[in-house]
């Protein structure tokens, strides 16, 4: 174990994970911070197990997971808890195990993230009723994902702004700048269910 | 004997010595605790976690490789929960290991394959990971394929423990890789190509370079034998297929510090089938050597020996077997009737040192003194001694180096005295006497005027406290070193440069007439030269008979060449430098028309009219004599260095195998 790896403490890892609300995000952040920091790599179950757990958790986050992935994370953490050499591996396993059983995790399989943190499960949309076409979001969007033209008072016939989902990287900047509550975060599934908005 | 501990493993009663770990204890009653990173003899690291076992009354499972036996312990090694966890670990490893057992050379001896089979993991249940590391196959000896590596660290630890210190981990966790410093190819590191890492690797990550499609383990016939390349005479396991040697591994017991062979022992076998081999008898006709028959050749040899009229000399290497040496000494004494018979052992060792060296258990030595020796893995001079000493030191033994010159091994020493060795030994004797050790008058008088430095004081202290101190000395310092055994219970071993020096001396191949040096400088008329002698120029003799396995420089200048079998083609025994008799097996049959040395001697005796018989019993070499005081002096005239002898006697092997690459690479300064 080198000096570097000892610098990040397990408490720091947990603090970073606890800053998230979604149980999947918490687990993933914990595992990722653990792998990047205090994981010493001395025993197989911990180093290989947490690596595999990260792969599975990432799948849950990006929406490509199936029930099997959650089950595997469960298996990994329960074995890691027993087989790991030291407390750090065991703590990681315990943390993941505490979170992976939550029903919120299972919801991710159907595209829901209750805490609105797993961006792949979310979409930013513009509520046409609220949009004043002020253009602030247009400026804020670094990805050129927002379509629309700033409204000029003497002209008519403008349509509200729209977010091109394929371009959107879900950075959330548009939501921050909107003064009219016109940018909304919804679950991906919700949008599919809704009827097209009439203007 | 250490204390015996009673415990129960899987319902079986086990008795094991105190300090034994659970894996070894279980193995003794036939219970195998799965493991991938454990190496017998070394401290466990508990990395793979496969050896986790339940101890009744314990809170959590413990690792079998580290946990020591305790009185009354009840151990369960295969509960359902443990097996499930092992399966999980194997499953994880398999997710990052190529699943190509069908073409893998290691199939059949791969530990991972075995465990996958045992735990029914057909394909990993986890995400397949692929690394795509480059394969290091730039050298002709060892192929490293990190994609197969399971990060068990066996190679790293073996390399570190024996002091070669080439391999280490780069990175950590799943992305770690076993690499040399700066991830250079092996030949650009300090690697000696001893191949200890190959023996340690449980999978296909480290392998002999040319093994691909040369058969797999189950195709081979395996024989335990001895390497006779140098004075260390290491145990080897030879795998052969279709009458040819395919590979050689170290054959010493698992966990022993002697489990080491060098590149010459491991890779020199290629020379067996090289065109440098002599496979038919040859005689000189009109100035050039031409093939002939055994009958003609032996008739000619007999005629010359008969005619020589007492001016016959026989010289041999000390790399022949006890049986060869025994019959040769009879041939000389009873048939040829000459006293001029000597071996290369006389170049570096006197009779006393070879006859009276002690028998030693290397694994038990806790204080090791090396006097006047400079073993080196890197130069391949007594490499196994170097590796063995470094291993003992890694396992807690203390090393004292006495040498008048610089030695690399001195860096491992607790005490290193760079001064005249005989004087230092005398000073140590003085220090021992000062500590109240009783000695005879002669010895006391001899050292009375000497001063003792702090280091020598400490060295003496160490020897006194040791349970089993051992001195490995140059044969020229044997008598001086042996004086120490008058003062304390210490074993003294003179280390010869050739594998069977102790044996040939015990079999009576010591001259009462002319010496090796005299004979090879032309003081005889007919010279019978046996083995690959360290000579390149024909001695000035009337007739030269060369009985050799290879067309050496000397053989090229001989009048008659008798093809002899190599040690891998001979059957018999040798007496190792540690005093143990070892069996040499005929692994493959002698090439072409070549015969074992002893068979040639017997044939020759028939032609000379006094048929010798092969005697079955060859008594062990060790003679016991009570040590008596001999002045502290370095014996003169034994000035051939082990390095020169080893190079000289192995020249044909080195020049006609891929070892030549190594020699050239070293020269090129790669």
Give B5's strand partners: B16
**pLDDT grade for A5, boundaries at 50, 70 and 90:** very low
Contact residues, chain B, for A51 at CB < 8 Å: 129, 173-174
B156 and B169 Cβ atoms separated by less than 8 Å: yes
Q: Which residues of B386-425 are buried (b: 16+ CB within 10 A; e: fewer)?
A: bbbbbbbbbeebbbbbbbeeebebbebbbbbbeebbbbbb
Buried-state track B510-522, b at ≥16 Cβ within 10 A, e below 16: bbebbbbebbbee
Query: What is the rounded CA–CA span in Å between residue B519 and residue B623?
Result: 28
Q: In angstroms, rounded to a whole number, what is the distance separating the alpha carbons of residues B336 and B196?
A: 46
Which of A8, A33, A39, A48 has the highest number of chain B CBs within 10 A, making it the mutation to test binding with B? Answer: A48
CA atoms within 13 A on the CB side of B378: 13
Between CA B413 and CA A38, with CA A2 as vertex, the angle to 5 degrees is: 145
Q: Which CATH class is domain B94-273?
A: alpha beta
All residues of chain A having their beta carbon less than 8 Å from the beta carbon of residue B85 are 45, 79, 82-83
Q: How many residues does chain A have?
A: 199
CA distance A83 to chain B (A): 6
Q: Which CATH class is domain B352-495?
A: alpha beta
Token pair in block for residue B400: 């004292």
**Tokens coding B4:** 């015996």
B67 to chain A, closest Cα gap in Å? 13
Whether residues A48 and B47 touch (CB distance < 8 A) is answered with: no
Per-residue confidence band for A191, with pLDDT thresholds at 50, 70 and 90: low
Q: How many helices (H) and strands (E) does chain A have?
A: 10, 4
Best residue of B38, B173, B175, B177 to probe chain A, by most A CBs closer than 10 Å: B173
d(CA B561, CA B545) in angstroms, rounded, equals: 6
Cβ B96–A75 below 8 Å, yes or no?
A: no
User: Percentage of residues in chain B with pLDDT exceeding 90?
Assistant: 90
Q: Quick one: what percent of chain B has pLDDT higher than 70?
A: 98
Q: How far is CA A31 from CA A48, B131, B239, B257, B303, in A?
A: 12, 21, 47, 42, 86
Strand partners, A21: none
DSSP B271-294: GGGSTTB--S-EEEETTEEEE--H
Q: Which of B37, B88, B177 to mutate to test the interface with A (most CBs of A within 10 A)?
A: B88
Candidates B93, B125, B172; nearest CB to A44: B93
Q: Chain B: which residues have CB within 8 Å of chain A?
A: 45-50, 52, 60-61, 81, 84-85, 88-89, 92-93, 95-96, 125-127, 129, 151, 169, 172-174, 176
Q: What is the model's pLDDT at position B75?
A: 96
Query: Cβ contact (<8 Å) for A42 and B88?
Result: no
The closest CB to that of A44, out of B47, B61, B126, belongs to: B47
Nearest CB to B88 within list A1, A39, A79: A79
Q: Are A191 and A125 in contact (CB under 8 A)?
A: yes
Residue A34 has pLDDT above 50, yes or no: yes
pLDDT at A90 over 90: yes
CB-CB neighbors (< 8 A) of B92 in chain A: 44-45, 48-49, 52
Q: What is the pLDDT of residue B620?
A: 58
Rounded to whole angstroms, how far apart are CA atoms A157 and A199? 11
Cα nearest neighbour of B66 on chain A: A85
| Digit-coded pLDDT (tens) for A106-157 | 989 888 888 888 888 888 999 988 888 888 999 999 999 999 888 877 777 7
Query: Number of A:B CB contacts under 8 A?
Result: 74
Domains of chain B, residue spans = 4-78, 94-273, 282-349+500-607, 352-495
DSSP B619-648: --S----------S-PPTT----HHHHHHH
Between helices B597-607 and B294-307, what is the axis angle to 10°?
Answer: 60
How is B435-476 classified by DSSP, letter by letter? Answer: TT----HHHHHHHTT----HHHHHHHHHHHH-SSEEEEE-GG
Provide CB contacts within 8 A for A68, sequence distance 6+.
Answer: none
Q: Which CATH class is domain B282-349+500-607?
A: alpha beta
Regions of chain B with pLDDT less than 70:
1, 616-624, 669-670
CATH 3.30.70.20 in chain A, residues? 119-193
| Any B CB within 8 A of A57 CB | no
CA-nearest residue of chain B to A73? B126
| Spatial separation of the C-alpha atoms in residues B93 and B116, rounded to whole Å | 10
User: In the prediction, which pLDDT does A2 show?
Assistant: 46
Cα-based distances in Å from A75 to A71, A84, A96, B196: 6, 14, 11, 37
Q: Where in chain A is the domain with CATH 1.20.1440?
A: 3-110
Task: Find the residue in A nearest to B60 (Cα).
Answer: A82
What CATH fold (topology level) applies to the domain A3-110? de novo design (two linked rop proteins) (1.20.1440)
- Taking the CA of residue B43 and the nearest CA in chain A, the distance in Å comes to 15
Quote the Cα angle for B326-B329-B333, to 5°.
140
Return d(Cα B521, Cα B524) in angstroms, integer: 8
pLDDT for A121 equals 83
Least Cα distance to B510 among B290, B316, B295 occurs for B316
Nearest CB to A52; choose among B81, B95, B151: B95
Can you tell me the distance from the alpha carbon of B233 to that of B222, in angstroms, rounded to the nearest whole number?
19
Q: Is the dihedral of CA B469, B387, B205, B203 positive or negative?
A: negative
pLDDT score at B1: 56
Taking the Cβ of residue A191 and every Cβ of chain B, the question of whether any pair is shorter than 8 Å is answered with no
- pLDDT value at position A44? 94
Closest Cα partner for A135 from A172, A166, A160? A160
Within 8 A of B84 by CB-CB distance, chain A residues are 79
Chain B touched by A94 (CB under 8 Å): no
| pLDDT tens readout for residues B549-605 | 999 999 999 999 999 999 999 999 999 999 999 999 999 999 999 999 999 999 999
Which CATH number is associated with domain B4-78?
Answer: 3.10.20.740
**Fold assignment, A119-193:** Alpha-Beta Plaits (3.30.70)
Using CA atoms, how far residue A101 sits from A52, A98, A149, B642, in Å, is 18, 7, 47, 69
pLDDT for B613: 85
Q: Do A43 and B48 count as a contact with CB atoms less than 8 A apart?
A: yes
CB contact, 8 Å: A8 with chain B?
Answer: no
Residue B593: CA atoms inside 13 Å, Cβ hemisphere, count? 15
Q: What percentage of chain A reaches a pLDDT higher than 90?
A: 58
User: CA of B172: which chain A residue's CA is closest?
Assistant: A41
Amino acid A196: pLDDT? 57
Query: 3-state class of B597 per DSSP?
Result: helix
Residues from chain B that touch A77, judged by Cβ atoms under 8 A, are none
CB of B469 closer than 8 Å to CB of B366? yes
Here the ipTM equals: 0.84
Mapping DSSP to helix (H, G, I), strand (E, B) and coil, where does residue B223 land? strand
Tokens of B590: 């002698």
* Contact in structure between B226 and B235 (CB atoms under 8 Å): yes
Tokens of B373: 């020796």
Element (H, E) at A124: strand A122-126
For residue B45, the chain A residues in CB contact (below 8 A) are 42
């Amino acid at each position: 174990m080198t000096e570097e790896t000892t610098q990040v403490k397990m408490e720091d890892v947990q603090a970073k994970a606890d800053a998230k609300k979604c149980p999947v995000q918490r687990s993933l952040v914990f595992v990722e911070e653990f792998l990047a920091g205090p994981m010493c790599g001395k025993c197989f179950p911990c180093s290989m197990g947490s690596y595999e757990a990260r792969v599975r958790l990432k799948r849950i986050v990006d929406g490509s997971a199936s029930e099997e992935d959650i089950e595997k994370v469960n298996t990994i953490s329960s074995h890691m808890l027993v087989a790991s050499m030291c407390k750090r591996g065991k703590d990681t396993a315990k943390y993941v195990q505490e979170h992976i059983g939550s029903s919120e995790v299972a919801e991710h399989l159907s595209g829901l993230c209750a805490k609105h943190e797993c961006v792949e499960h979310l979409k930013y949309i513009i509520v046409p009723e609220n949009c004043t076409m002020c253009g602030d979001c247009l400026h804020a969007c670094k990805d050129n994902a927002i379509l629309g033209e700033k409204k000029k008072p003497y002209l008519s016939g403008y349509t509200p702004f729209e977010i091109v989902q394929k371009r959107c990287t879900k950075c959330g900047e548009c939501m921050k700048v909107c003064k009219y509550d016109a940018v909304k975060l919804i679950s991906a599934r919700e949008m599919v269910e809704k009827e097209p908005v009439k203007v | 004997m250490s204390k015996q501990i009673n415990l129960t493993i899987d319902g079986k009663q086990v008795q094991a010595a105190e300090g034994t770990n659970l894996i070894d204890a279980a193995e003794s009653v036939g219970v195998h605790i799965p493991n991938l990173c454990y190496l017998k003899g070394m401290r466990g690291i508990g990395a793979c976690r496969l050896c986790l076992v339940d101890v009744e009354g314990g809170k959590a499972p413990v690792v079998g490789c580290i946990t020591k036996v305790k009185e009354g312990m009840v151990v369960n090694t295969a509960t359902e929960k443990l097996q499930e966890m092992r399966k999980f670990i194997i499953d994880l490893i398999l997710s990052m290991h190529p699943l190509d057992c069908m073409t893998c050379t290691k199939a059949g001896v791969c530990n991972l394959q075995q465990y996958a089979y045992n735990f029914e993991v057909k394909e990993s249940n986890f995400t397949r990971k692929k690394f795509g590391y480059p394969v290091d196959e730039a050298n002709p000896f060892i192929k490293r394929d990190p994609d197969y590596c399971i990060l068990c660290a066996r190679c790293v630890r073996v390399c570190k423990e024996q002091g070669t210190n080439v391999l280490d981990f780069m990175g950590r966790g799943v992305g770690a890789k076993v690499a040399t410093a700066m991830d250079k190819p092996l030949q650009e590191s300090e690697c000696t190509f001893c191949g200890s890492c190959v023996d340690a690797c449980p999978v296909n990550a480290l392998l002999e370079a040319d093994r691909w499609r040369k058969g797999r383990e189950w195709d081979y016939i395996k024989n335990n034998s001895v390497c006779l390349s140098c004075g260390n005479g290491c145990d080897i396991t030879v795998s052969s297929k279709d009458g040819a040697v395919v590979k050689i591994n170290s054959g010493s017991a698992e966990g022993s510090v002697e489990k080491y062979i060098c590149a010459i022992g491991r890779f020199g076998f290629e020379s067996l089938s090289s065109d440098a081999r002599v496979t038919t008898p040859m005689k000189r006709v009109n100035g050039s050597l031409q093939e002939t028959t055994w009958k003609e050749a032996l008739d000619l040899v007999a005629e010359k020996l008969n005619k020589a009229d007492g001016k016959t000399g026989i010289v041999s290497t000390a790399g022949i077997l006890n049986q060869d040496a025994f019959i040769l000494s009879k041939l000389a004494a009873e048939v040829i009737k000459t006293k001029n018979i000597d071996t290369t052992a006389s170049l570096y060792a006197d009779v006393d040192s070879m006859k009276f060296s002690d028998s030693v258990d290397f694994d038990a030595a806790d204080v090791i003194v090396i006097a006047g020796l400079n073993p080196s893995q890197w130069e391949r001079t007594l490499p196994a001694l170097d590796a063995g000493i470094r291993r003992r030191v890694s396992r807690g033994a203390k090393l004292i180096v006495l040498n008048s010159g610089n030695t690399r091994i001195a860096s491992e020493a607790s005490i290193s005295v760079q001064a005249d060795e005989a004087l230092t030994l005398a000073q140590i004797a003085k220090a021992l006497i000062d500590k109240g050790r009783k000695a005879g008058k002669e010895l006391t008088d001899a050292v009375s005027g000497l001063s003792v430095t702090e280091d020598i004081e400490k060295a003496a202290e160490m020897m006194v406290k040791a349970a089993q101190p051992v001195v490995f000395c140059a044969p020229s310092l044997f008598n001086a070193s042996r004086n120490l055994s008058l003062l304390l219970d210490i074993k003294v071993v003179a280390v010869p440069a050739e594998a069977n020096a102790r044996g040939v001396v015990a079999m009576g191949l010591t001259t009462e007439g002319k010496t090796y040096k005299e004979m090879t400088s032309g003081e005889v008329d007919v010279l019978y030269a046996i083995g690959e002698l360290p000579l390149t120029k024909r001695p000035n003799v009337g007739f030269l008979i060369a009985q050799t396995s290879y067309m050496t420089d000397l053989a090229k200048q001989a009048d008659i060449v008798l093809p002899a079998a190599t040690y891998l083609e001979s059957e018999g025994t040798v007496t190792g430098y540690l005093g143990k008799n070892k069996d040499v097996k005929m692994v493959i049959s002698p090439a072409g028309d070549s015969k074992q040395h002893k068979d040639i001697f017997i044939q020759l005796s028939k032609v000379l009219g006094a048929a010798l018989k092969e005697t079955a019993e060859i008594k062990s070499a060790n003679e016991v004599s009570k040590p008596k005081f001999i002045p502290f002096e370095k014996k003169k005239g034994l000035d051939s260095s082990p390095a020169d002898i080893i190079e000289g006697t192995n020249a044909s092997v080195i020049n006609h195998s891929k070892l030549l690459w190594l020699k050239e690479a070293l020269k090129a300064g790669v």
